[in-house]
Amino acid sequence: MQRIGVFVCHCGTNIAATVDVKAVAEALSHEPGVVISQDYQYMCSESGQDLVKNAIKEHKLTGVVVCSCSPRMHENTFRKAAASVGLNPYLVEIANIREQCSWIHKDIASATDKAVILGKAAVAKVHLNAPLTAGESPVVKRALVIGGGIAGIQTALDIAEAGFDVDIVEKEPTIGGKMAQIDKTFPTLDCAACILTPKMVEAAQNEHITIHSFSEVSDVKGFVGNFTVTIKKKARYVDETKCTGCGLCTEKCPMKKVPNEFNMGLDNRTAVYIPFAQAVPKVATIDPNYCMMLKNGKCGICSKVCSVGAIDYKQTDRFIEQKYGAIVVATGFNPIKPDKYNEFAYSICPDVVTSLELERLMNAAGPNGGTLLRPSDKTHPHTIVFVQCVGSRCDDEKGKPYCSKICCMYTAKHAMLIREKYPDTEVYVFYIDVRTPGKNFDEFYRRAVEQYGVHYIKGMVGKVMPRSDGKIDVQASDLLSNEQLHINADMVVLATAIEPDKTARPLATMLTTQMDTNDFFTEAHPKLRPVESATAGIILSGACQGPKDIPETVAQASAAAAKAIGLLVKNSITCNPCVAHSDELMCNGCSSCEKVCPYGAITYQDKEFRMPDRTTAVRRVASVNPAVCQGCGACTVACPSGAMDLNGFSNSQIMAEVDAICK
């Protein structure tokens, strides 16, 4: 006979304000097998847990039901408490009467009824719970960081610092990411390259770090502690081990009209190229879309001038397989293309640029050597208009619903830098709100207004249109003085929204992690687990999780590293024992379960069975690899013959719950 204890939590007033907890405890005390039913103000507190522990000992309980918050919150707390007094932790069930009851209902009577029903279902289930033992699986002591921007670099450096091997996979020919393209950083105005490139070099030289540049993750298998990842090393037609980065090939390449993506297409590069002077690894890459040798077999100059014989036109994509214990996603962001916003004339006027393009125009390594000139006629601009929130905070499908967070600060930076260097240039900034929460951020913005005389105007720009005299007519509203304005500008700069990199969505599918509707990775808990994904072993670093500036990105990158290190120091991790298993006698080998398994945990074996007539027959049956199974339960639903069952959530347990609810 089962001896079950029921413990109803008030959660302060979170539950008790809407659910009559004493009535719930009373009602559940009459359920079959229940020998004790109690309520308490905070069941998760130490004294609350002691209540549970003492009851287990005193009443020799064989099962425990805690009516409290979501199992995602405290299931582990109560399982541990049970285990500490010798009760198998999998004999503890949670009835969620907070998120699924008290928080969503207003009427006390009906909420109490529902809480009782949820409690009865849990009692019915716990009758059928079997003790489970968690196995252990070893941890591969190597981490993978996907993305080599400042987030990925910082995470890799911190993991390497702790003595673990770490690989960076970067899809571009060099690490560095967006920060490498930025001229100066707010709020201190130090040079981005000066603080980034030493970190890039450090990553390259660290004995624990391997950089796979111009590479992509093409497949991920396995689970926390034991991922198997296939990395595609894209053909760069240059032998990385031989190339010295001397740059002679890039000087001699006759194909000089390739848009230079590092400078946002504002100037050209050659078909064989090194993205920028401080690139890491400093290795040339041939762009097959433009190389004449690769396109039609005519040229071959780079191969002739290369003194070390590094050019290899026959190189193909290579795939390498590597095992990792933890994976850090650091895929970053991109500014959106403003070409959907025709009111800003971005596609028809070269003097309308995005903020990242302005960074390149002002950068000493940029197309104009650091002198700010209009792209159209290379003249000095006397009036510059900045437009904030282009594509951010939009309620239509053209833009993004969120605030891109970094634009207010970088626009203040741009405005200040321009006024500092060219005092004869008037700068206007049109804004909806100026958002400057951050250390020394508001002081920075105020300096732009008060010390540098930047004209901040609350209002949106309605129209930008080139005029016949080469100037740009900017039509806008000043909301504070309720006036329509026309500004004759020389340049217009659009602070475009930022969005997650396009590679993030397919990667999330490979990693079986969640994303929000904007394709930002979802953290396991928005407050308490901000750098982990809900999938064990997948950790989030930087802007792939949401818009972030550099200080925040670096802080999160180090936090991600701490989470990865916390995993890698363990020799083994406890496996989830709630995995699927197949009843071979019932299985007919139909493959339904294999098709729905997202983890590839199911395989088929031919097995010999003794038949009722004493003959033997060979049948094809499913078999689950418990180390790979994540216990999602998809196979148990798909199985037409009911052969698949899930430990801890067996078909009979679920049916018992349903029966209890429907009674």
Partner 1 sequence: MQTFTYYPGCTLRTKAKDLDAYARASAEALGIALIEPENWQCCGGAYSTATNEAGSKLSAVRTLMAAKDSEGLVTVCSACHNVIKQTNYDISRNEAMANKVRQYLGLEEAYRGETKVLHYLELLRDVVGFDNLAAKVTNPFKGKKIAAYYGCLLLRPSKALAMDDPENPRIMEDFIRAIGGTPVIYAQRNECCGGYIAMEDKAQAAKRSGAVMSSAKDMGADMIITACPLCLYNLRKNSGSDMPVYYFTELLAEALGLKEESNE
Contact footprint for partner 1 (CB under 8 A): 341-343, 345, 347-348, 463, 465, 467-468, 473, 475
Which residue number, 475 or 535, has a Cβ lying nearer to partner 1? 475
Interatomic CA distance for residues 465 and 495, integer angstroms = 17
Give least dist CB 242 to partner 1, A. 50
Which residue number, 467 or 525, has a Cβ lying nearer to partner 1? 467
Interatomic CA distance for residues 469 and 472, integer angstroms = 9
Interatomic CA distance for residues 617 and 329, integer angstroms = 49
| 3-state SS string for 415-470 | HHHHHHHCCCCEEEEEECCCCCCCCCHHHHHHHHHHHCCCEEEECCEEEEEECCCC
One-letter amino acid for residue 7 of the chain: F
Interatomic CA distance for residues 412 and 449, integer angstroms = 9
Question: Residue 371: how many CB atoms within 10 A of its CB?
Answer: 14
Interatomic CA distance for residues 209 and 550, integer angstroms = 22
Give least dist CB 468 to partner 1, A. 5
Give least dist CB 336 to partner 1, A. 16
Which residue number, 54 or 347, has a Cβ lying nearer to partner 1? 347
Which residue number, 258 or 474, has a Cβ lying nearer to partner 1? 474
Interatomic CA distance for residues 505 and 363, integer angstroms = 32
Residue 575 DSSP class: P
Which residue number, 76 or 342, has a Cβ lying nearer to partner 1? 342
Give least dist CB 349 to partner 1, A. 11
- Identify which of 503, 509, 657 has the alpha carbon closest to the alpha carbon of residue 169: 503
Which residue number, 100 or 475, has a Cβ lying nearer to partner 1? 475
> CB-based burial of residue 329 (10 Å sphere; 0-12 exposed, 13-18 middle, 19+ buried)?
buried
Give least dist CB 402 to partner 1, A. 22
Give least dist CB 266 to partner 1, A. 23
Distance of CA 224 to the CA centre of its chain: 16
Interatomic CA distance for residues 579 and 294, integer angstroms = 51
Question: Residue 311: how many CB atoms within 10 A of its CB?
Answer: 23
Distance of CA 555 to the CA centre of its chain: 15
Strand partners, 40: 9
Dihedral of alpha carbons 349, 350, 352, 353, sign: positive
Which residue number, 328 or 345, has a Cβ lying nearer to partner 1? 345
Question: Residue 173: how many CB atoms within 10 A of its CB?
Answer: 24
Give least dist CB 342 to partner 1, A. 3
Which residue number, 186 or 341, has a Cβ lying nearer to partner 1? 341
Given the DSSP bridges, would you call strands 136-138 and 572-574 parallel, antiparallel or unpaired? antiparallel
Give least dist CB 397 to partner 1, A. 10
Which residue number, 267 or 343, has a Cβ lying nearer to partner 1? 343
Which residue number, 339 or 443, has a Cβ lying nearer to partner 1? 339
Question: Residue 509: how many CB atoms within 10 A of its CB?
Answer: 12
One-letter amino acid for residue 75 of the chain: E
Give least dist CB 383 to partner 1, A. 16
Which residue number, 167 or 351, has a Cβ lying nearer to partner 1? 351
Question: Residue 478: how many CB atoms within 10 A of its CB?
Answer: 13
Give least dist CB 358 to partner 1, A. 22
One-letter amino acid for residue 54 of the chain: N
Give least dist CB 341 to partner 1, A. 7
